[in-house]
Amino acid sequence: MLGLFLNLILFSLAALVLASGVSFFVQERDSGYSRLYMLLLAIVVFLICGGYSIMGFTANLSLAPLPRFIGLAGIDVFLIVELSYLLMELRKKRSYQLVLLIFFALYVFFDLLIFGKPSALTYIRYEFHTAYENANKNAHLFHYAFITVMLFVLLYHGIKWYKSKKVRRDRAFSLELILSNFALLFAALPDTFNLDFAHTYPTFGYSAATAFVFFSYLFAIRQHISYTPTVKNVSREVFSSIEVPVIIFDTEGMVNLSNPCAKSRLQIADGTTPSLRNLFALSDVETMRLLTRTKNGWSGAVKTKIKANGEACTLTCSIKCDNVGETFCVIGTVLPEISEKDKDEKNAQSE
């Protein structure tokens, strides 16, 4: 019964990892090549957990080699994707990257050819799950030699990556990713020491370990890119510090967000959601006309007055649309109205 439960966990992990990877790829458009690597890691971990869980569910032993082959391919490619990410972070020369990756890609090819063939293992059906035992010791050693070499290469480049970082947050980021890979080593211990758990459930440990490494990457990269200067990261600070009143209102004319300058100039109390009619000298007809035009895709400006102090101003409106092209909010900028006297003075200065 435990085998069935463990296979359900692996299948759930496969779905969760894939969904998380796709979500990161779609949402974090400013994260550079990290979004592509997270998607690749999600796909290979999905193959690992999904492949081995399906193998565990398969009662027909003649069909078990196929999902097991998919899981094995996922593990081999998982390590290559990690190495490729490290080489990108180290900014190694393209020739160095190609030589190293091609070498290990060839090793993966022969590993799948030798250790991936059905005769390399003997499949065993327990009451609720399928497992296997190694039938070809040489093929098993060939596979573990690949895993060992890859882990040492990853550790070597990981240490170089850590030493190359000067800023504390960058060092913490690299150290977190390096340490997460030790989960793969711990997962191999039951198999290394011939423990009963490894004989009965040979795929669960390292499959779950790859999912752990993926989520460690996901958490670390999300945290790290939050300190990268992008529009997404600095927009809140720009919005709060700009010395121009900015309000954001919905298609019903309710102001949902305003910057400190707008709160001061328009006298918006904290925690309130005023309407445009509360803030500006707009009639009901003018307000409805403005909102109807913005719903229809209009961006422009209207002249009005601030109710709080009677100052003349221009409310410029810029619409934001959702994924189906409909207006969901309007960004309003409140600019002071320049009097004729000020215009003449400005023209005189320019001359």
Q: Where residue 4 falls among pLDDT bands split at 50, 70, 90? A: confident
**pLDDT (0 to 100) of residue 2:** 77
d(CA 12, CA 32): 29
Phi-psi region of 253 (alpha: psi -120 to 50; beta: other; left: phi over 0): left
**pLDDT (0 to 100) of residue 238:** 85
d(CA 61, CA 41): 29
Helix axes 168-180, 182-192, angle to 10 degrees: 20
d(CA 268, CA 200): 66
Q: What are phi and psi of 188, to 5 degrees?
A: -85, -10
Say yes or no to pLDDT of 341 above 60. no
Tell me the pLDDT tens digit for each residue of 150-194: 989 999 999 999 999 888 888 888 888 888 888 887 877 666 656
**pLDDT (0 to 100) of residue 196:** 66
Q: What percent of the chain has pLDDT over 70?
A: 91
Q: Where residue 32 falls among pLDDT bands split at 50, 70, 90? A: confident
pTM over cut 0.85? no
d(CA 348, CA 244): 25
**pLDDT (0 to 100) of residue 342:** 56
| Structural domains of the chain, ranges and CATH numbers in brackets | 2-228 (1.20.1070.10), 238-350 (3.30.450.20)
Say yes or no to pLDDT of 228 above 70. no
Distances in Å between the Cα of 225 and the Cα atoms of 35, 123, 149, 218 are 11, 45, 31, 11
Tell me the pLDDT tens digit for each residue of 90-137: 988 999 999 999 999 999 999 999 998 988 888 988 888 888 888 888
d(CA 34, CA 28): 9
Q: Where residue 319 falls among pLDDT bands split at 50, 70, 90? A: very high
**pLDDT (0 to 100) of residue 103:** 94
Q: What mean pLDDT value characterizes the chain?
A: 87
**pLDDT (0 to 100) of residue 107:** 93
CB burial readout 234-273, b (16+ within 10 A) else e: eeeeebeeeeebbbbbbeebebeebbebbeebbebeeeee
Span 327-333, average pLDDT? 93
Say yes or no to pLDDT of 229 above 90. no
Say yes or no to pLDDT of 31 above 70. yes
